[in-house]
Amino acid sequence: MSLGKAFKHLGIDLRLAGMIGALFLIWLLFDLFTGGRFLTPRNLFNLSVQTASVAVMATGMVFVIVTRHIDLSVGSLLGFLGMIMGTLQLHYLPGIFGHGTAAVWIVAVLAGILCGVLLGGFQGWIIGYLNVPAFIVTLGGLLVWRGAAWWVTSGQTVAPLDQTFKRLGGGTGGSLGATWSWIIGIAAVAAAVAMIFNARKRRARHGFPVKPFPAELALAGIVSAGILGFVALMNAYKVPETAARRILEARGEPVPEGPIDMAQGIAIPVVILLVVAVVMTVIARRTRFGRYVFATGGNPDAAELSGINTRLLTVKIFALMGALTAIAAVIASARLGSVGNDLGTLDELRVIAAAVIGGTALSGGIGTIHGAVIGALIMQSLQSGMAMVGVDAPLQSIVVGVVLVIAVLVDILYRRRFGL
C-alpha cells in the first residue's frame, strides 16, 4: 500500500500532514544553521507571539478567499484601527474614566472592534450591493486607511499605551504563567479528545465511514502530546530576573532576595489566537453562516438560486474580517507598546500568503482555519529563521515569494491528483 493510500485509509489529511512536516523541516534546518538557537523555549515563545496577529487575520481571510474575493486592505486597516485605539486610550478615555482604570483599555478595544466591523462591512456593502470588484474596493481601502491612520495624529507615533493593554501583546506580564498554562493545556487536551471521539460517533450514527479505532487513538495521542509539549516548552522559558521582580511588585506579592524562578507560560496573544481559531472553526463547520460561505464559494450562481442572500453574506464576511483585523491590531500595537504609521505595513500580503499556503483555494470553495494558522506559522518561521541566520531583507522577500508560488503550485497539483 502506498503512503498516500495508507493516509487515506487512516483518514489523515495528506496535505495537512505535509504542511506540518514542512514546518518541522524548516525548524530543524534553521536550528542547524543557527547552532541550536532556533529551537529554544525563548525563540519559540517569541515566534508564537509574532505569529498571532497575522494568524488571527488569516482565519478571516479564509472566508474572504473561499467566497472568491480578496482583501488587500487588512494591513492598512490594522494600522488605522491601532491608531484609533491608541489615541483613545492616550488622549480621550483617561479624562473620562481616570488614568490607569480598566475601563480605558476595555472601551478602547471595544471601540476598535466596532470600527473594524463598520469599516469592513462598508467595504463588503460596496462589493456586494454596488458590484464593485473586491480587488478594487480593498485596493482603495489599502490607500485610504493608511492615509487615515496618518491623519488621525498628523503622522505622530502614539505612545505610551495603557500598561494593562500592553499585556495583550505578550510583553512583560503578558503570559499566563506555569499554573494557568497547565490548566488550559489539560482542558485543551480534554476538549480535543472529546471532539475527536464525538466526531467519530456522529459519523457512525449517520452511516458515514469512520477511521479504524487505533487510528483515532493514535490521533488523540498525537494531539494531546502536541498540546502538552507546547505547554511544557512555554513553561521552560523563564521570565528575566528584573521583569520577574517588577511583576511581583505590581501584584503586591513579596519579592524574594535570591533568584526568582518564574515561568512565562503561554503568551496571551497565543490564547487570543486559539480562542479565535476555535470560534472560527465552529462558525465554519457548525453554523448556517459557515455552510453558506462554502456553498457560495463552491458555486455562487447555484447558491443564489437556492435562496442564499449572497450580497448580505458578502457584507457579513467583510464585517467579520474587519473585527478580526481589530483584534489583530490590539495584539500588534500592544506587543510594540506604541502605534506608529508603519503598523501593519505589508501585513495584507502575509495574511493572504498564510491562507493560501494553508490550503485555501483561490478558485473558491475550499479552505480550513487550522490550515491558515499553520500557514501563518510557516511564514513567520521563515522570516524569523532567515533573520537569525543573517539573510538580508531583500533576499528574505525573494525566498518568501518563491515559497508562496511553490505552495500554490503544490496545492494545484495535489487537487488535480486527487480530483478535489
Query: Is the residue at 135 inside a domain?
Result: yes
Confidence of residue 6 (pLDDT cuts 50, 70, 90): low
Structural domain count, the chain: 1
Q: How does DSSP classify residue 339?
A: B
For residue 219, the model assigns a pLDDT of 82
Report whether pLDDT(48) > 80: yes
Domain residues for the domain of 400 are: 3-174+267-418
Closest CA to 60 of 51, 69, 49: 69
pLDDT tens-digit profile of 16-28? 788 888 899 999 9
End-to-end CA distance of the chain: 21
Longest dimension (CA), the chain: 72
pLDDT at 273: 96
Is the pLDDT assigned to residue 418 strictly greater than 80?
no
Which contiguous run of DSSP H or E holds residue 370?
helix 369-389
Does residue 201 fall inside a structural domain?
no
**According to DSSP H, which parts of 98-235 are helical?**
102-129, 134-153, 163-167, 177-205, 213-235
- 193-234 pLDDT per residue, tens: 998 888 888 888 888 777 778 878 888 898 899 999 999 999
Q: What is the CA radius of gyration of the chain?
A: 22
Q: Identify whether 241 is part of a domain.
A: no
Give the angle 46-221-227 at the CA atoms, nearest 5°.
Answer: 20
pLDDT at 243: 78
- Domain assignment present for residue 221? The answer is no
Which residues lie below 8 Å from residue 410, measured CB to CB, with a gap of 6+? 18
Chain CA centroid to CA 188, Å: 18
Tell me, yes or no, whether 234 lies in a domain: no
Q: What percent of the chain has pLDDT over 90?
A: 63
SS3 75: helix
Average confidence score pLDDT of the chain: 90
- 391 has a pLDDT exceeding 90: no
Q: Could you tell me which of 332, 341, 407 has the C-alpha nearest to residue 109?
A: 332
Question: Do the domain assignments include residue 403?
Answer: yes
- Amino acid 9: pLDDT: 56
The answer to whether the bond into 256 is cis (omega within 30° of 0) is no
pLDDT in tens, 305-336: 999 999 999 999 999 999 999 999 999 999 99
Residue 122 has pLDDT above 60, yes or no: yes
At 18 the pLDDT is 82
Residue 257 included in any domain: no
pLDDT tens per residue across span 64-112: 999 999 999 999 999 999 999 999 999 899 999 988 899 999 999 999 9
Q: How many whole angstroms separate alpha carbon 9 and alpha carbon 327?
A: 39
Render pLDDT for 282-307 as a digit per residue (tens, 0 to 9).
Answer: 999 999 999 999 999 999 999 999 99
Residue type at position 9: H
Q: How far is CA 322 from CA 12, 159, 234, 315, in A?
A: 33, 24, 30, 11
